[in-house]
Amino acid sequence: MRAEIVGVGTEILLGQIANTNAQWISKELAHYGISVYFHSAVGDNLERVVQTFEQAGARSDIVIITGGLGPTEDDLTRDAASMLFQTSLKEDEKAMSKIEEYFKKNSRTMTENNRKQALVLDGSVVLQNDEGMAPGQMYHFKDTLYIFLPGVPSEMKRLMSEQVFPYLVHNYQLESEIKSEMLRFVGIGESKLEHELQDLISQQSNPTIAPLAGEGDVAIRLTASGPEAAELLASLKSEILQRVGSHYFGSDSITVEEAVQDILVQKGLKAGSAESLTGGKFIEKLISLKGASSICEGGLVAYTPSAKKSILKIPAEIIETYGTVSEECAAKMAENAQKLLDVDIAVSFTGVAGPAESEGHKPGLVYIGLKAQDAPASVFRYYFDGSRDKIRGRAVIKGYELLFNYLKNAE
């Protein structure tokens, strides 16, 4: 079964909303063994909507359309479908009664255009909408099943879950299940990861392997189909982790800061930071997580030399002798942050984000300090390429990588 998902609405093309409907539908269809080959979006133009529906039907067994079922003139989904299928629209009595009841209960006057929401294709299977006004509908045309759904996510999800999926299960032979898992890695580049797994990638069939680059991390999407999909995924995942498991921090939607939080909770530890060029970006990620107060005391931001002296209590002789962009300063920042915040682990950042040089150092030089429990502070030196924001962002990710690796290996 080949499926395609079409989002109708100029607001999608303008970037005013994200088409999260397509993401959700694709994920759910995979559980039923239905592969999604295309996602498309079309604006509120009748001719283009008709063309998009026609193209989708020519290449897909199932076409799921969301949006364009409202009461206004630019809600064109019904009209486009009527033109393509050469069938008329009729008023659905149940839908119309519900719309009238809504306005009556809310003591509002119903305008004539609201009747439009009750229109359905003659001969369609009507999907009554218990969450909203416009019903969904299904229509067979030239061996393709067209499914029309409201664009409101809550309405769409309920119709899909309670009416569309049961219909598909009852009327189609859905032979296999598709399972997918995203393995996430940090501290290894996409090219290096591909090199380590090249033989598996070149021989792939089922499951398939797709390397993906992210912001600071890399991922591998594993996808398997068939009755043994779960077992196939587990076997391949095990083989991959035997090779590059030291860089693995979790699966699917987990972030590296969430992985750090999980270990801090398990070990009963608290973390904090001392930040210069990163300006609080490191600790902001940790504080954004639910339950952060149990593992994070806070962070200290000291950007200038005078702030480092007054806030972080960095001795003047360290700054005068070695400078603020130095291994010695980074170590003392981490040590003092641990004491001042009374935490088990502190991470520090100092460096040059640019655009100009600082203390004779070119942009991109970053020192990251790590002071954990009673051990001496460790300092790591890096050179990051890119813009000012990219240098700062990469420093933050590297800080989480260092913290994750320490926590993972700590007794």
Asked if the model's pLDDT at residue 211 lies above 90, the reply is no
Mean pLDDT (the chain) is 94
pLDDT for the residue numbered 175:
60
Report the chain's terminal Cα–Cα distance, integer Å. 51
Return the CATH architecture of domain 2-171: 3-Layer(aba) Sandwich (3.40)
Which amino acid, one-letter code, is at 198? Answer: Q
Burial of 291 (0-12, 13-18, 19+ CB in 10 A): exposed
Mean pLDDT of 190-199: 92
Dist. CA 232–CA 249, nearest whole Å: 21
| pLDDT tens track for 99-120 | 998 888 888 888 888 899 999 9
Dist. CA 368–CA 274, nearest whole Å: 10
C-beta of residue 89 within 8 angstroms of C-beta of residue 30: no
C-beta of residue 42 within 8 angstroms of C-beta of residue 54: no
Dist. CA 292–CA 397, nearest whole Å: 18
Which pair of tokens denotes residue 270? 């608290």
Of the candidate ranges 46-55, 130-139, 211-220, the one whose mean pLDDT is the lowest: 211-220
**Of 107, 158, 162, 109, which Cα lies nearest the Cα of 132?**
158
Helices (H), 20-122: 20-30, 46-59, 77-85, 93-105
Mean pLDDT of 205-227: 85
| Fold adopted by 178-251 | Alpha-Beta Plaits (3.30.70)
DSSP code for 377: P
DSSP code for 396: H
Dist. CA 263–CA 277, nearest whole Å: 26
pLDDT for the residue numbered 109:
84
pLDDT for the residue numbered 268:
96
Asked if the model's pLDDT at residue 169 lies above 90, the reply is no
How confident is residue 176, by pLDDT bands cut at 50, 70 and 90?
low
Question: Which residues, 6 or more positions from 137, have their beta carbon under 8 angstroms from its beta carbon?
Answer: 120, 121, 124, 125, 126, 127, 147, 148
Asked if the model's pLDDT at residue 28 lies above 70, the reply is yes
* Sequence ranges of the domains in the chain: 2-171, 178-251, 257-409
pLDDT for the residue numbered 216:
74
Of the candidate ranges 5-9, 146-150, 223-227, 354-358, the one whose mean pLDDT is the lowest: 223-227
Our CA angle for 13, 16, 17, nearest 5°, is 90
| Fold adopted by 257-409 | Maf protein (3.90.950)
- Distances in whole angstroms, Cα of residue 151 to Cα of each of 3, 8, 46, 261, 326: 18, 8, 17, 36, 55
How confident is residue 140, by pLDDT bands cut at 50, 70 and 90?
very high
pLDDT for the residue numbered 46:
97
The yes-or-no answer to whether 178-251 and 257-409 have a common fold is no
| pLDDT tens track for 274-315 | 999 999 999 999 999 999 999 999 999 999 999 999 999 999
Mean pLDDT of 128-155: 94
Asked if the model's pLDDT at residue 177 lies above 80, the reply is no
Asked if the model's pLDDT at residue 93 lies above 90, the reply is yes
pLDDT for the residue numbered 225:
84
| pLDDT tens track for 65-88 | 999 999 988 999 999 999 999 999
C-beta of residue 89 within 8 angstroms of C-beta of residue 122: yes
| pLDDT tens track for 386-398 | 999 999 999 999 9
Which amino acid, one-letter code, is at 43? Answer: G
The most distant pair of C-alpha atoms in the chain lies apart, rounded to whole Å, by 85
Dist. CA 321–CA 211, nearest whole Å: 46
pLDDT for the residue numbered 49:
98
Helices (H), 86-205: 93-105, 153-159, 165-171, 190-196, 198-202
| pLDDT tens track for 359-379 | 999 999 999 999 999 999 999
